[in-house]
Chains A and B, each alone.
Chain A
């Protein structure tokens, strides 16, 4: 009873804080200094049609590198913890049969889902979305394959190769930015091209594709590790 009362009063308290925040919120009449700079100069400086992508990949590229590193650490630690146990004995495991709908549907859906993921990160500088979203979409395609065939084995060597190669090239491109264009992860190491074209905005499509591959590989390795883990007795 007293536990319930505590939980309820906590909820009411949090609700009151949010209501107070909402009441005191007044939208800015004009863009603030930083936002105005981005809105006015993104197109001419980076050639990217999507301002969010330009901020994530060039202006705040270091933060994105940090995010990718955090995801990499999480996926490595999951791999480390799960590899301490024994690999499951696949011949002994009995499985709940997978439905007909899933087995037939996955062979049509999985390629389309992965293609959508690639589309999202390749077009990151033109349309909403980018490396993280595209990578997550690719990983959900992989998860669909795992759901329909729980004993499926993905090549861990291939996943690690994609993951580490794209990470290495990503950082190399960043360092190349210091040498050629003046700052880390500067996208002007390649010609900016025509505004709105698929191949434009300098190195942004390249960098975001690498991020997409890296994120997709990291999520996929997490899922593959989870699926190959032995059941606890």
Chain B
């Protein structure tokens, strides 16, 4: 493996770790959305890592399922939860 690829791998690994820590530790108003996006970022960066390691088939699976489907699914569930919260609040107001 050339020096450039090694350097890229190290940078990617650090970025994956940072994204993972962000997705666990993020606090604040939109923390849930940011956490989901950061978790998706972990998968996306991991798929780039697989590509560097010459495994394009695995990279594709990781990007499609980890980065795409799972992230979308989390947002979907989050939207359903928000709907539920809204209904609960409205029911308590009346």
Contacts known (A120-B60, A128-B56, A128-B57); A139 close to B69, Cβ less than 8 A: yes
Q: Residue B80 at the A interface, CB < 8 A? A: yes
Which residue in B65, B75, B84 is a CB contact (below 8 Å) of A147?
A: B75
Q: Are B60 and A94 in contact (CB under 8 A)?
A: no
Q: Residue B10 at the A interface, CB < 8 A? A: no
Give A144 to B90 CA distance when docked, in angstroms. Answer: 28
For A150, what are the chain B residues with a Cβ–Cβ distance below 8 Å?
Answer: 79-80
For A120, what are the chain B residues with a Cβ–Cβ distance below 8 Å?
Answer: 60
Q: Residue A162 at the B interface, CB < 8 A? A: no
Q: Are B83 and A95 in contact (CB under 8 A)?
A: yes
Please, how many residues of chain B have a CB less than 8 angstroms from a CB on the other chain?
A: 22
Q: Are B72 and A227 in contact (CB under 8 A)?
A: no
Contacts known (A132-B61, A133-B61); A94 close to B76, Cβ less than 8 A: no
| Bitwise interface map of B from 25 to 65 toward A, beta carbon under 8 Å scored 1, else 0 | 00000000000000000000000000000001101110011
In whole Å, how far is A22's beta carbon from the nearest beta carbon of chain B? 12
Secondary structure of the A side of the interface?
Answer: helix
Q: Are A136 and B72 in contact (CB under 8 A)?
A: no
Binding site for A on B (CB under 8 A): 56-57, 59-61, 64-65, 68-69, 72-73, 75-77, 79-80, 82-84, 86-87, 90
A128-B60, A143-B72, A226-B76 given; 20 more Cβ-contact pairs under 8 Å: A93-B83, A94-B87, A96-B86, A129-B60, A133-B57, A133-B60, A133-B61, A133-B64, A136-B65, A139-B69, A140-B68, A143-B69, A143-B73, A143-B76, A147-B76, A150-B80, A223-B76, A227-B76, A231-B80, A231-B87
Binding site for B on A (CB under 8 A): 50, 52-53, 93-96, 120, 128-130, 132-133, 136-137, 139-140, 143-144, 146-147, 150, 219, 223, 226-227, 231-232
